[in-house]
Amino acid sequence: MFLLKRLSHWMEANWVTPAYSGWVLLGITLCFFGAATNTMAGWLYVISGIMIALLSVSSILPQRALHGLSVARQMPRPVSAGEALAMVVTLKNTTASPKNLLQMQDLVPAKLGPKPTHAIASLQARSQHTWRYEIPTEKRGIYTWPDVRLRTAAPLGLFWCSRLHAAHAKAVVYPQILPLERCPVIDSLGDETGRRQLQKTAINASGTEGITRALRPYRWGDPTRLIHWRTSARYGELRVRELEVLTSHQSLIIALDTSESWDIDSFERAVIAAASLYHYGQRQGLATQFWSSRTGLVHDSTAVLTVLAGIQLNDVGNQKLPAPPIIWLTAQAGKQLPRNSAEVLFLSKTAAHSSEYLPNESEISGLVINPVDDLQQQLQNNLNASPTV
């Protein structure tokens, strides 16, 4: 049965394959031809000949109906997991004759669900038809597929014919971003005074510290401490310094461990956490970056989300861990992290339900994430919050 199905698909894609009604008519034709051979009745030969001619014409017309058609696609914009991909496919008839009874099928990957189909009753000469539809998404990923299939059994419905038309698609589904109201693992990163104290110190110091970028004439309201007296004496007018303020201490790196120590569900939760922490850090005014051993440091927010959409388990490289402050997302405790760094440990289901697999609180300088509890709530917990067993 499987071989027959494959043969039928191959015949449809390269020639034609009979529809159910085609098989029925072919069987009736063989019966009439057999009866005509046994009885030598002329009228049976005539009926058999008419049926054979009908089958022959019906096998040629569907192939001709698919000539002169072209397909164009509009690339979908990236979405987050849980949102729908908006797809737009345009079918053009470049011939001088109308096309009837067409079927379009977009060959989306199986991970995006069943292949959507669309019927077109009639497509006028030198016109086009736009098909708009949505694909619901559940999981992040970068999905690509090359073709759209056109099918028809016109005009009699006795034979199916299909052809593939190149219409490359690339759909990017970002991981879900959790709306964190607070995140102690970021808020308290650094020394005991926390991130806000660091920012306050940076603001207070920015008036007199930094690299002199240029000297310009004094303007009303400029701080007198910025006056460059030596240059002012030489030019005979007040000149002040424009400073390039150093803000490297306000940076934050979200680092994701992509080694083999994960189970699949925990890794997916870690990717969601990485996207959420990155988004929260940006909202707090930090120069937030993402790091993995394959990609290295990624700065731009769109690039970070794209990397997180496509990152896979065991997707390792040789990039070295950057300087702190770092938030290290991992499934294996015990890594020595630099000072002013924090660890977010994701437990597997086995570890979460067995106390002997739980790490000591002294081994974790951050959060322990339970696979059962709500991820958003756990990311908003205070540091060293033990999971519930």
189 in a structural domain: no
236 and 338 assigned to the same domain: no
Beta bridge partners of 369: 346
Residue for token pair 């290295």: 296
183 in a structural domain: no
389 in a structural domain: no
101 and 115 assigned to the same domain: yes
- The pLDDT value given to residue 338: 77
44 and 137 assigned to the same domain: yes
33 in a structural domain: yes
Largest CA distance in the chain: 125
Report DSSP state, residue 295. T
- The pLDDT value given to residue 261: 81
Interval 323-358: pLDDT, tens = 878 999 998 877 777 777 888 999 887 765 555 455
295 and 222 assigned to the same domain: no
* Tokens of residue 354, six digits: 């067995």
- The pLDDT value given to residue 365: 66
123 and 72 assigned to the same domain: yes
Boundary residue ending a domain (128, 153, 174)? 174
Residue 217's domain comprises 211-245
103 and 168 assigned to the same domain: yes
- The pLDDT value given to residue 315: 82
Report DSSP state, residue 116. P
197 in a structural domain: no
- The pLDDT value given to residue 117: 97
- The pLDDT value given to residue 354: 56
Domain count for the chain, please give it. Answer: 3
148 Cβ partners below 8 Å, 6+ apart?
A: 71, 73, 89, 104, 105, 106, 107, 164, 165, 167
38 Cβ partners below 8 Å, 6+ apart?
A: none
* Tokens of residue 293, six digits: 């051993």
- Centroid of chain to Cα 202: 37
298 in a structural domain: yes
Local confidence pLDDT in tens for the 389 residues of the chain = 778 888 988 999 999 999 999 999 999 999 999 999 898 888 999 999 999 999 999 999 999 999 999 999 999 999 999 999 999 999 999 999 999 999 999 999 999 999 999 999 999 999 999 999 999 999 999 999 999 999 999 999 999 999 999 999 999 999 999 999 989 888 877 444 344 444 444 444 444 444 555 787 877 767 777 788 888 888 888 888 765 444 444 789 999 999 888 889 999 999 999 999 999 999 988 889 999 999 999 989 999 999 999 999 888 888 888 887 899 999 887 777 777 788 899 988 776 555 545 555 555 567 889 988 999 999 998 776 444 44
195 in a structural domain: no
Classified as helix, coil or strand, 354 is: coil
255 and 335 assigned to the same domain: yes
Half-sphere exposure of 238 (CA within 13 A, CB side): 11
33 and 158 assigned to the same domain: yes
221 and 266 assigned to the same domain: no
15 and 157 assigned to the same domain: yes
10 and 151 assigned to the same domain: yes
270 and 347 assigned to the same domain: yes
230 in a structural domain: yes
Boundary residue ending a domain (174, 201, 220)? 174
CATH number at residue 81: 2.60.40.10
In sequence order, which ranges of the chain are alpha helices (DSSP H)?
Answer: 2-14, 20-39, 42-65, 184-187, 194-205, 229-235, 264-283, 301-310, 349-352, 375-379
Nearest to 361 by CA among 386, 389, 328, 327: 386
What pairing do the DSSP bridges indicate for beta strands 17-18 and 159-174? antiparallel
- What is the DSSP code string of 318-333? -PPP-SSSEEEEESS-
Boundary residue ending a domain (127, 147, 174)? 174
